[in-house]
């Protein structure tokens, strides 16, 4: 008798824990979202690398390598935006598919909270980076992207799969290291937004979604 009731209690506590978790965290984030975002980031970085190579060739006569023409920075800015929104859309598609499979509402209390908590550091970072771009601190852009994104992920990890925190640590550390290798920003950017995303996404897909 005693044994049965304590087993029931354990089961009850497990149910409570599960519902608490499901109601406060958005757990449908797909690993494939990470892989897709990573691939787009790598493609974007490759295009940027090619463009920068071409550009510095053209301008060697007029300006030092560190100063960048308005047109060129505009081009990079547009490329950055395309990569950002492309990655966002791809990430959304795979997560949407997964949430449909699990029968979870994609626009619920948990996903709203996740979005809010990831957006705040990202918007602050976006404004900061825009200002860097305007004032010509081009070398600080890649480290800033990584640092703000890392902080956003660490903050958001409380509201989604807790492993997101480790992706955040990775981005943050890469960003801080890249502060000491100004001029190699693009490589760090590609490593963070490209490789780390793909590695994270693959691990998560293997862990939770592989059938």
Partner 1 sequence: MKNPIEQLNKIFDSRIRLGIMSALVVNDSINFNELKELIAVTDGNLASHLKTLEESGYIKVQKGFIGRKTNTTYAVTKSGDKAFRQHLEALEKMIRSIG
- Between 13 and 130, name the residue whose CB sits nearer to partner 1: 13
- 132 phi, psi to nearest 5 deg: -60, -40
Please report whether residue 4 would count as binding partner 1 according to CB under 8 A: no
Token readout for 91 is 């990430």
Distance from C-alpha of 75 to C-alpha of 44, rounded to nearest angstrom: 12
Distance from C-alpha of 42 to C-alpha of 57, rounded to nearest angstrom: 23
Distance from C-alpha of 186 to C-alpha of 139, rounded to nearest angstrom: 9
Please report whether residue 12 would count as binding partner 1 according to CB under 8 A: yes
Site residues for partner 1, 59-118, by CB under 8 A, read 103-105, 108-109
Please report whether residue 23 would count as binding partner 1 according to CB under 8 A: yes
Please report whether residue 130 would count as binding partner 1 according to CB under 8 A: no
Distances (CA, A) of 155 to 104, 112, 142, 201: 23, 14, 20, 19
- The total of other beta-carbon atoms located within 10 Å of residue 115's CB is 15
Instruction: Report the nearest approach of partner 1 to the CB of residue 204 (Å).
Output: 23
Please report whether residue 22 would count as binding partner 1 according to CB under 8 A: yes
- Between 113 and 165, name the residue whose CB sits nearer to partner 1: 113
Please report whether residue 15 would count as binding partner 1 according to CB under 8 A: yes
Name the site residues for partner 1 (rule: CB under 8 A). Answer: 2-3, 5-6, 9-10, 12-13, 15-17, 19-20, 22-24, 103-105, 108-109
């Amino acid at each position: 008798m005693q044994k049965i009731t304590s087993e029931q209690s354990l089961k009850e506590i497990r149910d409570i824990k599960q519902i608490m978790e499901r109601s406060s965290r958005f757990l449908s984030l797909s690993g494939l979202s990470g892989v897709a975002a990573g691939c787009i980031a790598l493609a974007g970085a490759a295009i940027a690398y090619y463009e920068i190579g071409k550009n510095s060739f053209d301008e060697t006569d007029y300006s030092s390598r560190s100063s960048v023409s308005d047109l060129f920075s505009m081009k990079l800015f547009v490329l950055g935006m395309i990569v950002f929104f492309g990655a966002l859309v791809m990430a959304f598609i795979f997560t949407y598919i997964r949430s449909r499979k699990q029968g979870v509402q994609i626009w619920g209390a948990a996903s709203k909270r996740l979005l809010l908590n990831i957006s705040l550091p990202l918007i602050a970072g976006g404004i900061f980076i825009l200002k860097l771009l305007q004032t010509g601190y081009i070398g600080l852009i890649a480290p800033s992207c990584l640092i703000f994104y890392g902080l956003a992920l660490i903050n958001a990890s409380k509201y989604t799969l807790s492993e997101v925190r480790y992706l955040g640590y990775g981005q943050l550390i890469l960003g801080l290291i890249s502060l000491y290798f100004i001029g190699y920003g693009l490589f760090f950017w590609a490593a963070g937004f490209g490789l780390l995303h793909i590695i994270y996404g693959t691990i998560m897909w293997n862990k939770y979604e592989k059938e």
